[in-house]
Structure 1
Amino acid sequence: MDDGAGGPVVLDRRDGPHGEVVLRQHGQLLQIIANGTFLMDTSDGRSERLLVRAALEELRRGAHRRPPRLLIGGLGVGFSLAAAADEPAWGRITVVEREEAVIDWHREGGPLSRLSARALRDPRTEIVHADLLGHLGGGERFDALCLDIDNGPDWTVTEDNGSLYSPAGLAACSASLAPGGVLAVWSAQASPTFEDALRNAGFRRIRTEEIPVIRGVPDVVHFATKPA
């Protein structure tokens, strides 16, 4: 779908408790815009896939044995979920998404369902409509938390998302991880101060991996492990 002049076309626009969220189509690309700020599109997805693949590799380095339980924070366009469902080693896969509109766009027949339909049919997959920090406070423990809820620790679209990267937010992440569990956080740019925050929160084996993109600075994924 195109507007005849090569510009983006709005497929859906919703106003919710966290502001406006928009799904646009620009040529073959689908784009998610939140409060006027570009979040993600369907152009690549390498860094979103790396988020879950590298988290599993980190668990294997720690000699993790049982099928690991994965929580993905943020459904987005579905790249991370699809990568998780493609990996039979994962156990239960829980995706927490606070925007009901984003979940709707992935439902059967929705614009984003072509990326996620198979993963959503996987019996391991559960989609939860909730705020991430509220869900982390529920007492359930996971072996990996793969979080992609914004543009990263230093560039949040809504102020309340910043609480995830705060000492209290990182403490909630740690409390929701089993011993030896892995935290992986996607970011649009590297954040040395976030690495310091992870250390102060008690995480170990902290590293940042850069992923080249078509234009601009590389995406990054911050990795950290909860002591066993």
Structure 2
Amino acid sequence: MHTPYRPDPPVVLDRHEGPYGEVVLRRHGDLLQIIANGMFLMDTSDGRSERLLVDAAYDALDGRPRPSVLIGGLGVGFSLAHAAKDPRWGRISVVERERAIIDWHLEGPLSELSQEALADPRTEILHTDLLAYVNGSFAGANTPSGTYDALCLDIDNGPDWTVTEDNESLYSPAGLAACQARLNPGGVLAVWSAQPSPAFDSALRNAGFQQVRTEEIPVARGVPDVVHLATRAA
């Protein structure tokens, strides 16, 4: 009689209670997973979504030389690592509000994914909340260096499925206006989502963005992930 295969349960590597609630890093087999307030955020199983997020933003800039990019947030580091491998990007800034996630990259298990990117002189990590940063409530945010050619945002499971209620304001008219103010003329906003959101496309158009469209990311089953793309007027 064969014993049925039962995968090992996840093992918690670190748990941190901060101003935004609980964030957990755990290992499940070969995968590292980040859980926030009991909600699965992401793991190291695949990076197609994160790579498409960065590549779609670059492609939408139509060959702009050495464009700058703001990535929100750090997560497992796929977006940062992919941007840093591309010499066409200029300055690469990453906003991450959870100190624990930054530490997991600097000196913890996630460093194997991001150590080269973090050593890249183009890279800077900003420990702050993305909403505070785009609204200018962060030291240095109102300097000329605080504007970017591309914003690549992946802090939720999508505009319709936020990790915290506070994040909903990012996708509001005021939040989208703040994102526009962070973009250089002709700059691109790219937002990852676990499912298409026609309502968010409409919100982008109503906020004055141009060339609003979505790019699909095939998944094994269910509706595809998407990247919402929109351009600030030149």
Q: Normalising TM by the smaller chain, what interval? A: over 0.9
Amino acid at match of 1:115: L
Q: Tell me the SS of whatever aligns to 1:107.
A: helix
1:64-143 matched pairs, under 5 angstroms: 64=64, 66-108=65-107, 110-136=108-134, 137=136, 138-139=141-142, 140-143=146-149
The alpha-carbon deviation at position 212 of structure 1 amounts to: 1.3
Q: Deviations over 1:130-182 (max 9, x none)?
A: 01121122232100000001111000121001111111110000000000000
Q: Tell me the SS of whatever aligns to 2:152.
A: strand
Q: Deviations over 1:176-208 (max 9, x none)?
A: 000000000011111000000000110011111
The alpha-carbon deviation at position 210 of structure 1 amounts to: 1.1
1:1-228 matched pairs, under 5 angstroms: 6-60=8-62, 63-64=63-64, 66-108=65-107, 110-136=108-134, 137=136, 138-139=141-142, 140-228=146-234
Question: May I ask how many residue pairs the two structures share in their alignment?
Answer: 221
Amino acid at match of 1:17: P
**Structure 2: gaps (5+ residues):** 1-5
Q: After the TM superposition, which segments of 4 or more aligned residues of structure 1 sit over 4 Å from their partners?
A: none
Distance in structure 2 (CA, Å) of the matches to 1:149 and 1:167: 18
The root-mean-square deviation of aligned C-alpha atoms, in Å, is: 1.2
Q: Tell me the SS of whatever aligns to 2:113.
A: helix
Contact 2:78-2:113 within 8 A present in 1 as well: yes
Distance in structure 2 (CA, Å) of the matches to 1:186 and 1:172: 18
The alpha-carbon deviation at position 37 of structure 1 amounts to: 0.6
| Identity over aligned pairs, percent | 74
TM-score (norm 1): 0.94
Distance in structure 2 (CA, Å) of the matches to 1:92 and 1:115: 19
Q: Which stretch shows the higher mean deviation, 205-214 or 140-149? A: 205-214
Distance in structure 1 (CA, Å) of the matches to 2:158 and 2:168: 9
Distance in structure 2 (CA, Å) of the matches to 1:23 and 1:134: 25
Contact 2:69-2:151 within 8 A present in 1 as well: yes
Q: Tell me the SS of whatever aligns to 1:227.
A: coil
**Structure 1: gaps (5+ residues):** none
Amino acid at match of 1:128: L
Distance in structure 1 (CA, Å) of the matches to 2:110 and 2:159: 26
Distance in structure 2 (CA, Å) of the matches to 1:215 and 1:20: 29
TM-score (norm 2): 0.92
Q: Tell me the SS of whatever aligns to 2:61.
A: helix
Contact 2:131-2:167 within 8 A present in 1 as well: no
Distance in structure 1 (CA, Å) of the matches to 2:169 and 2:111: 30
Distance in structure 1 (CA, Å) of the matches to 2:105 and 2:222: 28
